[in-house]
């Protein structure tokens, strides 16, 4: 639980600080240092921790774990190990592996019930957000209902939210790719205006994602660790899902879910300058 709260806190800081000064200037300050990071431009093959690899196509760029931590520091955030940041034409994404164990995928997802549960958590979530000086977030509905692809072992969904400090909707696009010992948590940062095109572009990139030998979902063996939750809990709370078993569900779910929502809502300012970051306006990094 302490580890889950640490991740949630880091996510809050990412959301708070990226909008504030990541692109404060085109050629000086943090922006210049971000440009100077060792961006690995595609086409290239990049390791994602010890569990997976990603084929990065042309006009995309990725940071190693070390430089991803530097990226967080340069945007005013605490460094977080185990994260890779990928930049596209008008979007960016966070990749992080969660070693929760083998998540069984035989559970049917009730999207309506999940949405009802999330809306009920808006109250407790916003109470926690106010304590941290954050704007409130109201769950409006699904932009893309949760669905699981048995072939790719990918769970995907997009949640539409409304922030009290902005007239623009906030849309979270989230992917969980199941593996043998856990799942890859992928968070896409995009603006509502370009989301559909960005999702299509990002899905093309995800075709190049693959778990390493021994880490693939189909390589599960008896005796492997099995997660204490299924697909629905990954949508409802992700890292907080295990709290269902500990009696801390109401507290942890509201806090963690709210924090990961913020990552996507507050990163839009970086999107507008992602082309400038690499000296291009539209064609990508």
Cα 60 to Cα 79, 211, 244, 267, 274: the distances in Å are 23, 20, 38, 18, 11
- To which H or E segment does residue 53 belong? strand 52-56
Give me the pLDDT at residue 43, please. 94
The ranges assigned to domains in the chain are 2-277
- Residue 165 confidence (pLDDT): 77
Q: How confident is the model at residue 207 (pLDDT cuts 50, 70, 90)?
A: very high
Whether the pLDDT of residue 269 is over 80: the answer is no
The predicted model gives 110-134 an average pLDDT of 82
> For residue 86, is pLDDT > 50?
yes
The first and second tokens of residue 87, run together, are: 């930049």
- Band the pLDDT of 162: cuts 50, 70, 90: confident
Share of the chain above pLDDT 70, in %: 69
**Helices and strands: H and E segment counts in the chain:** 10, 11
Tokens of 171: 């849309």
Instruction: Give Rg (Cα) of the chain.
Output: 18
* Mean pLDDT of all residues in 15-38: 56
pTM of the model: 0.77
pLDDT (mean) for 192-214: 92
Characterize the bridge pairing of strands 44-48 and 92-98: unpaired
* For residue 284, pLDDT beyond 50: no
Average pLDDT over residues 106-118: 90
């Amino acid at each position: 639980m302490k580890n889950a709260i640490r991740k949630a806190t880091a996510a809050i800081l990412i959301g708070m600080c990226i909008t504030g000064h990541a692109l404060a200037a085109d050629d000086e300050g943090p922006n210049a240092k971000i440009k100077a990071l060792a961006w690995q431009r595609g086409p290239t093959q990049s390791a994602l921790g010890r569990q997976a690899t990603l084929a990065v196509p042309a006009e995309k760029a990725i940071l190693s774990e070390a430089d991803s931590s530097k990226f967080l520091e340069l945007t005013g955030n605490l460094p977080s190990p185990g994260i890779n940041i990928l930049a596209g034409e008008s979007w960016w994404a966070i990749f992080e592996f969660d070693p929760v164990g083998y998540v069984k995928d035989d559970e049917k997802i009730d999207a309506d019930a999940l949405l009802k549960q999330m809306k009920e958590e808006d109250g407790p979530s916003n109470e926690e957000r106010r304590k941290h000086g954050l704007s409130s977030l109201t769950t409006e509905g699904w932009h893309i209902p949760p669905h699981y692809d048995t072939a790719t072992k990918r769970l995907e969904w997009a949640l539409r939210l409304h922030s009290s400090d902005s007239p623009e909707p906030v849309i979270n696009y989230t992917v969980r790719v199941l593996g043998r010992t856990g799942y890859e948590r992928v968070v896409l940062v995009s603006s509502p205006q370009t989301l559909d095109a960005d999702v299509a572009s990002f899905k093309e990139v995800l075709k190049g994602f693959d778990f390493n030998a021994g880490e693939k979902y189909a390589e599960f063996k008896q005796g492997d660790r099995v997660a204490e939750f299924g697909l629905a809990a990954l949508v409802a709370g992700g890292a907080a899902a295990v709290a269902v078993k500990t009696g801390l569900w109401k507290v942890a779910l509201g806090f963690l879910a709210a924090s990961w929502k913020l990552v996507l809502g507050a990163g839009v300012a970086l999107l507008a300058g992602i082309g400038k970051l690499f000296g291009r306006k539209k064609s990508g990094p």
